[in-house]
Chain A
Amino acid sequence: MPGRKSDIFFIVVALGAAAFGLMMAHAHHRNGNAGSGLKEKAMLVERLELTDLCLFSDARYARHPSMADLHSAFQDSPMAMEHFPSGTVILPPPHLRLR
């Protein structure tokens, strides 16, 4: 049994470090086992010629950001402000910003 408060502190730090180690080990283990899931997604991408991840489905330029053009967010009318929450979360793709 720890007798001093500093012992408790060192035990807590050791437990924290051990939990960090477990976290790293878990990430490594899951990475190793992720092959089949990634392969399944990659096959679907190749078979259906998909270009984007399904992260947002409210606006088309957020559903397929890589296929969006510069005007997508403002296409409803010349004065329409961008109003989809997902549009404020992400950046336009670099190939549009660099042009």
Chain B
Amino acid sequence: MSLLERHRNIIDFALSSLGRRWKKNIALTLVYAFTVFTLASVIFFTEAVKREARAVLQGAPEIVVQRLMAGRHDLIPAVYIDTLKKITGVGQVKGRLWGYYYEPSTGANYTVVASGNPPLEPGTIAVGQGVSRTLHAAEGDLIPLKGADGAYVSFEVTRVFSHASELVSADLIEMPAGDLRAFFGIPEGFYTDLTLKVRNEKELVVVADKIRRLLPDTRPILRDEILRTYDSLFDWRSGLLLVIFAGAVAAFIIFAWDKATSLSMEERREMGVLKAVGWETSEVIAMKSWEGVIISLTAFFGGTLFAYVHVFFSSALLFEPVLKGWAVLYPRFQLVPHIDPYQVLALFFLTVVPYTVATVIPSWNAATVDPDSIMRL
């Protein structure tokens, strides 16, 4: 009998054996698939966010200079612009105006930014989809917003940013710089922070050092640091991943413990009968290994495929409550799918292999015992 035919016979028997305990095995496969699904969803989601951040934030300012006062981010005087312009290698220095606006009627937080180029007309704003949804505002509508002096100011919505840009614009309100100053009460001669362009990118670190020395109450943030923020935001030590990985590890420990300690009497007797009718120890172990492979492969395929659909077709619906937190406004974004074969392979080895090994070890112990003594148990 060829090796293939021999293993086909063993698989036939393994499937019949699994079928005899189908309720337990279906429950086991479902829990196992859910664990794989959770892990795969996190891996797909975080990797897609990181890649999207890397692609989209390439156009972020080369250096942002913030002023800190008493440990807090403070408005930065416009006179700092002249100081920064004198640093060798600095090409352009611009003041950036932005802030946060809490809308009491909806309970949502918005990010208000000064209009870019081309600037908006005074009295008009452009808003993100999230702002449009929470305020029920469309193009042409007037939105009353409460200014720093307590009075409501009406702005006309001239544009709603597209759905495609929600990942960066969902909570944005773009407002003309003059209106923003009046709205937040930011005095002339001050900005929220400053942005710099450096002629030679290789000099960014040197320029940042000079900024720290010339203006000790400021801190420069490089574009590279902004990009690295998103590379490490969902590091394994972050709360989300730690909780999910800890849950998955705990689930696998329970699986392995269950398999290692509770080989049922029925299963032990089955192995005794098989050995008594002439099966070799290696064939009994192969049969139990195939049982493990069948369950873990089914769970792996099912869990990973559902995770892909979950993250890239339903916008990671199950993660929404976690990511939303206390926020009223949540962006509805479609991430660009990216599958890293190494990550899928790692997931495979982290899930399928431990379970299969956990199946084989107790079977080895049971299969090496005299069949007569097992059947008499």
Contacts and interface: CB of A to CB of B under 8 A. Distances in A.
Contacts, number: 221
B221 A55 contact: no
A53 interface: yes
Contacts of A11: none
Given A6-B12, A51-B61, A66-B221, A90 B238 contact: yes
B221 A44 contact: no
Contacts of A45: 56-57, 59-60, 168
Interface in A54-79: 54-60, 62-67, 69-71, 75
Nearest to A4: B12
B156 interface: no
Interface residues of A, number: 61
B325 interface: yes
A50 B161 CA distance: 14
B327 A16 contact: no
A31 to B, nearest CB: 6
Contact of A23 (B66, B233, B305): B305
Contacts of A44: 161, 165, 168-169
B116 interface: yes
Given A42-B58, A57-B108, A88-B239, A51 B64 contact: yes
B25 to A, nearest CB: 14
A16 B298 CA distance: 8
B252 interface: no
Contacts of B35: none
A23 B344 CA distance: 12
Contacts of B233: 65, 90-91, 93
B133 interface: no
A70 B238 CA distance: 16
Contact of A57 (B61, B109, B304, B341): B109
A65 B59 contact: no
Q: List the 5 shortest-distance A-B pairs measured between CB atoms, nearest first.
A: A46-B59, A16-B301, A85-B325, A93-B229, A58-B327
B282 interface: no
Contacts of B229: 52, 65-66, 93-95
B165 A71 contact: no
A82 B312 CA distance: 31
Interface in A1-43: 4-6, 8-9, 12-13, 16, 19-20, 23-24, 26-27, 30-31, 34, 36-38, 40-43
Contacts of B228: 93-95
A5 B16 contact: yes
Contacts of A63: 100, 109, 111, 171
Contacts of A69: 66, 68, 71-73, 219
